[in-house]
Amino acid sequence: MRRPLMKYGTSLLGLGCIVMLYLILTERELLPELAHALESANFQNFKILFISIILEAFPFILLGVLFSALLQVFVTDETIRKYTPRHPVAGVLFGGLLGIVFPLCECGMIPVIRRLIRKGMPAYIGIVYLLAGPIVNPIVYTSTFTAFRTAPEMAYARMAIAFGVAVAIGLLLHLFMKSSPLRGEAPPAVSGCSHGHSHVEHHHVPKGIGARAAATLSHASDEFFEMGKYLIFGAFLTAIIQTVIDRAALVSFADQPALAYGFMMVFAYVLSICSTSDAFIASSFGGLFSQGPLLAFLVFGPMIDFKNTLMLLSTFKVKFVLLLIVLCAAFTLIGSTIAEVWL
């Protein structure tokens, strides 16, 4: 019963996304009451925000699904298991630094992580890469360093906190996660050091360049349409929330240090800005918030935001996603608080 419900639910979600895009691009009115409500909330700003989120995220979604498809077609399960460290500490360090070699944005990480886990990478290592990869990479470091030219320590602190949070969560998952977090997976142990008993996808590798290219495009298109509808729906709701936020309320939160951290993490979650550009948004709040809350914004947002929560829920079990959000929030708060003392 659950599977048909999910099937029809995602189909309706995809149809709704197409209708929303059509109405926005053609400026048609679905209902007079809805049009009036949107006009009162500055409909032009909503359209700009919605389209900008889509345009910002889609290239990274394409990169992610293409990379995922290349993994599926050209990289065997044995290769993944061979080069993944068996020791848990080495494994989480490997996952935390993998973004340096494969610098993907959070928008394109989820299909890649799902593919890696299904090919035999232990889930806890994949999650570490999922959390650290969008931040601990040369592109994000450069953008953060550029945005905080007068305070370069912010770039160093962001990399260190993100790496520490991801590694800590990875070690906890290794100790306590006993089954696959992916939806629809059988319950083998995925947190142990042995890779021989993990649930992986076994597939026939196509022969010839033409067959492999066709298979790559097929896998990429399937994952693009699966991930894309959640991105569009998340961007739609994110744009609505951003449109109605009163920016003057920011000052009242900034004046209360006890609330500043939580507010900036929630703000990052709602804004759902790509990790390659969120440092410029954070630097614009430098006159209001101290370095600790700004670091909380810079670390928590790329790990967990509104649009990628929907994509996480489409890939991982609900309980696991909720646990991941709580762990990310707790460790980000601890890390950014400590960093503010040292900076």
Q: Residue 329's pLDDT is what? A: 96
Q: Residue 101's pLDDT is what? A: 82
Q: Residue 111's pLDDT is what? A: 84
Burial class of residue 256 (count of CB atoms within 10 Å of its CB; 0-12, 13-18, 19+) = exposed
| Cα(124)–Cα(312) distance, integer angstroms | 15
Note the pTM of the prediction, 2 decimals: 0.72
| Cα(125)–Cα(122) distance, integer angstroms | 6
Catalogue the E-assigned strands of 197-321.
none
Backbone φ and ψ for 323, nearest 5 degrees, come out as -65, -40
| Cα(288)–Cα(3) distance, integer angstroms | 48
The amino acid that residue 213 corresponds to is A
pLDDT, tens digit only, all 343 positions of the chain: 444 544 555 566 566 666 666 665 665 555 555 555 555 556 777 888 788 777 766 776 777 678 777 777 777 767 777 888 989 999 999 999 988 887 777 767 888 898 889 888 899 999 999 999 989 988 889 889 988 988 999 999 999 999 999 999 999 999 999 888 998 765 443 333 333 333 334 445 566 677 778 877 887 787 677 667 766 776 777 677 667 766 666 677 777 877 899 989 998 898 887 787 788 878 877 877 889 999 999 999 999 998 889 889 989 999 999 999 999 999 999 999 999 988 7
Between the alpha carbon of residue 285 and those of residues 264, 268, 278, 303, the distances in Å are 10, 12, 11, 20
Nearby residues of 169 by Cβ (< 8 Å), 6 or more positions away = 127, 128, 131, 324, 327, 328, 331
